[in-house]
Amino acid sequence: MSGTGEDSTKRLGIKASGHPMDPRTQELVAHFQQAYGSAPERAVRAPGRVNLIGEHTDYNHGFCLPMAIERDVRIVLRRRPGRSVRVTSVQQPGVVEFSLDARPIPKATAKDQRWADYVKGCAQVLRDEAGIELVGCDLAVTGDVPLGSGLSSSAALEVATIHALLAAASVGMEGERIAQFGQRAENAYVGTNCGILDQLSSACGVLGQAMLMDCRTLQLTPAPLPAGVAVVIADTGKRRGLVDSAYNERRAQCEAGAKSLGVSHLRDVTLHGLRTAVASGKLPAAAARRCEHVIAENGRTQAAFACLRAGDAEALGQLMDQSHDDLRQKFEVTCAELDDMVAIARALPGCLGSRMTGAGFGGCTVSLVREPQVAAFVTALTAGYRAAHPAMTPAVYVTKAAAGAGTLAL
């Protein structure tokens, strides 16, 4: 893919096919050219995700019901001689460079370069754990998944990075393994103890479908969303820092709960089993409330999948409502902003269910809304939330289920 003819075609934002490139890719190509002085050879993308139900279940080997969203991280790349990788992002300042021969690859020392640790972590994991012979390359990143709002911009960045590094090295890999290496990069290198939900949704999303995800077997079973309803995501504008948040504490509480109950993961406990254990004093009441959410949520998520199969949007909405109420009262990972956004949504015409989505403590809600009411819902939800929280800037996204990560035509 070299030659001045093609390079000038790219500068003009025209694909080799003769169709114009979409504006985001065009901007990214221009950013690449400005940073490195040449045109990129390849492009990849990986979407963010929204979880319809099944929250804080992934690390308990349970069930989730995510879908990939129509917002993504894109990377354009070009191989370069030598053993270093350079990376730049439209959303962040500067160019970060690291050597593929450094063991370990050093993490950022400057705060404004920390975003590139997701990229370095992927390179290190692919090299050391997957045994891939990586090659030097230049990367430019752009994303329209909002950063830090629970729609998994980090997983989208990791999955896109792995696709980009593999493309440069001309190596293929299955989506499921890509997701696992992305998760490893985030766990072991960046230091966030996330489950597999985010990366697997991004790597293996199915166009037009939500997916029942079994986080023990990693099996994905797609099912289309009910006809006539839309998925509406509302960002509260309240940012959470997952690394510093109570996420790791909740996770430890679940692990301790499973241990007291004599199982490796809460997936293996029934509500009846939990109640018996509490009655016999095996588990303190506070720990039991955390476990109860996870165990009930696994049941709700499987029930929600049955609703998708049956096309029963109303019952699905009710399960979403119950999920939020448990996350608020028993798991205690909501906040005033999330609770208010949900309460405002539920009171609006056409809303079948609404809940927080993602790890909590801020970030987004997801609502199921009848299609004819969507436009009015978006306007009223934004106005209602603004009135309740004048200091916050909400954002609302209506999205269909997008395809999982892959290559993008240049």
How would you classify the pairing of strands 84-89 and 137-143? parallel
Residue 405, CB-side half-sphere exposure with 13 Å CA sphere: 37
From the list 46-54, 147-155, 360-368, 372-380, the region that binds Mg ion by CB under 5 A is 147-155
Q: Does 202 bind Mg ion (CB under 5 A)?
A: no
From the list 43-51, 83-91, 148-156, 360-368, the region that binds Mg ion by CB under 5 A is 148-156
DSSP 127: H
Q: How far apart are the first and last CA of the chain?
A: 10
Three-state DSSP class for residue 135:
coil
Nearest to 356 by CA among 378, 389, 328: 328
Among 136, 148, 224, 311, contact with ligand ADP (rule: CB under 6 A)? 148
Closer residue to Mg ion (CB): 185 or 308: 185
Classify the C-alpha dihedral 323-220-272-352 as positive or negative: positive
Distance between CA atoms of 375 and 406, rounded to whole angstroms? 31
Residues classed as catalytic: 198
Among 157, 220, 374, 381, contact with ligand ADP (rule: CB under 6 A)? 157
Distance between CA atoms of 148 and 239, rounded to whole angstroms? 6
Which entry of ligand ADP, Mg ion, none binds 299, CB below 5 to 8 A by partner kind? Answer: none
Among 39, 141, 345, 378, contact with ligand ADP (rule: CB under 6 A)? 141
Site string for ligand ADP, 370-409 (x = CB under 6 A): ----------------------------------------
Q: Does 25 bind ligand ADP (CB under 6 A)?
A: no
Bond before 47 cis per omega within 30 degrees: no
Closer residue to ligand ADP (CB): 152 or 301: 152
107-126 positions binding ligand ADP, by CB under 6 A: 114-115, 118
Three-state DSSP class for residue 48:
strand
Site string for ligand ADP, 38-77 (x = CB under 6 A): -----------------------------------x----
Q: Does 246 bind ligand ADP (CB under 6 A)?
A: no
Nearest to 235 by CA among 149, 298, 174: 149
Per-residue b or e along 270-298, where b marks 16 or more CB atoms closer than 10 Å to that residue's CB: eeeebeebbeeeebeeebbbbbbbbbbbb
Among 2, 8, 38, 91, contact with ligand ADP (rule: CB under 6 A)? 91
Which entry of ligand ADP, Mg ion, none binds 212, CB below 5 to 8 A by partner kind? Answer: none
Distance between CA atoms of 406 and 385, rounded to whole angstroms? 36
Residues in the chain: 410
Q: Does 154 bind Mg ion (CB under 5 A)?
A: yes
Three-state DSSP class for residue 68:
strand
- Number of residues counted as binding ligand ADP (CB under 6 A): 20
Closer residue to Mg ion (CB): 57 or 154: 154
Among 57, 60, 124, 152, contact with ligand ADP (rule: CB under 6 A)? 152
State the Cα angle at 266 between 264 and 270, rounded to 5°: 120
Q: Does 336 bind ligand ADP (CB under 6 A)?
A: no
Residue 262 buriedness (CB in 10 A; 0-12 / 13-18 / 19+):
exposed
Kindly list the residues in this chain that would bind ligand ADP in the complex (CB under 6 A). Answer: 73, 89, 91-92, 114-115, 118, 141-143, 147-154, 157, 242
Residues lying near Mg ion in the complex (CB under 5 A): 154
